[in-house]
Amino acid sequence: MPYIVACTGGIGSGKSTIANIFAKFNINVIDADVIAYKLVKPGSCVLKAIINRYGNDILTKQGTLFRSRLREIIFQDKKERYWLNNILHPLINIQTQNLKKIAKSPYILWVVPLLIENKLQHQANRILVINIDKATQLKRVQIRDNVTLAQVEKIIEIQATHQQRINFADDIINNIGKLENTFLQVFKLHQFYLKLAKTKQD
């Protein structure tokens, strides 16, 4: 198995942005959210199961999943959240393992928003936590997703707290400032992870 760096953080903390920087250094990125997106594409078994449960209102006019509507449902009702997770997580897990096997870079960046919540820490060699203050987080998510403050707060509320993530962190990236600053932090960590991955192989 390759050396695995798990990257986690709250919604809008900057995981995708940071993963894109690692990818620029030719590091293979496995992103649980990207896998989940693909699993619900039109015609998929997962989307069929979702339609069975919530009816055609869960689709957009184009026949794709109405994500914000599904999000509304699952963030309001624990039972629905569990239902969806029970379907998605085993499938995400299978695809993740397959992608890990074919990865070619010296280490893999494994982006897992719910690493701590789903107790997946043991599957990583190293845990990288993205740090952001709540005000910046709220602002960035509202702009990115065009959602209300209340909706973002609800999502943050059911995710692990910053402190819970920090308790497991080997490394932290501060993504509060400008992107240049984040880029430098990624660059330094990348050099470090190359060394760690090499030491593991030797």
Annotated binding residues for ATP, written as ranges, equal: 12-17
- Which residues 40-99 are close enough to bind ligand ADP by CB under 6 A? none
Those residues whose C-beta lies under 8 Å from the C-beta of residue 27, and which sit 6 or more positions away, are 105, 106, 107, 108, 109, 190
Q: In this chain, which of 149, 166, 179, 184 binds ligand ADP, going by CB under 6 A?
A: 179
Q: In this chain, which of 2, 4, 6, 9 binds ligand ADP, going by CB under 6 A?
A: 9
CB atoms within 10 A of CB 22: 24
Distance CA 11, CA 7 (A): 12
Would you say 2 or 113 has its CB closer to ligand ADP? 113
How far does CA 131 lie from the centroid of its chain?
14
Q: Residues binding ligand ADP: what is the number (CB under 6 A)?
A: 13
Span near ligand ADP by CB under 6 A; candidates 12-20, 21-29, 58-66, 154-162: 12-20
Those residues whose C-beta lies under 8 Å from the C-beta of residue 12, and which sit 6 or more positions away, are 132, 137, 138, 140, 141, 144, 152
How far does CA 13 lie from the centroid of its chain?
10
Span near ligand ADP by CB under 6 A; candidates 4-12, 85-93, 94-102, 193-201: 4-12
Stretch 118-147: interaction string toward ligand ADP, x if CB under 6 A: ----------------------x---x---
Distance CA 59, CA 22 (A): 34
How far does CA 138 lie from the centroid of its chain?
17
Would you count residue 14 as binding ligand ADP (CB under 6 A)? yes
Q: In this chain, which of 3, 6, 7, 13 binds ligand ADP, going by CB under 6 A?
A: 13
Enumerate binding residues for ligand ADP (CB under 6 A): 9, 11-17, 140, 144, 175, 179, 182
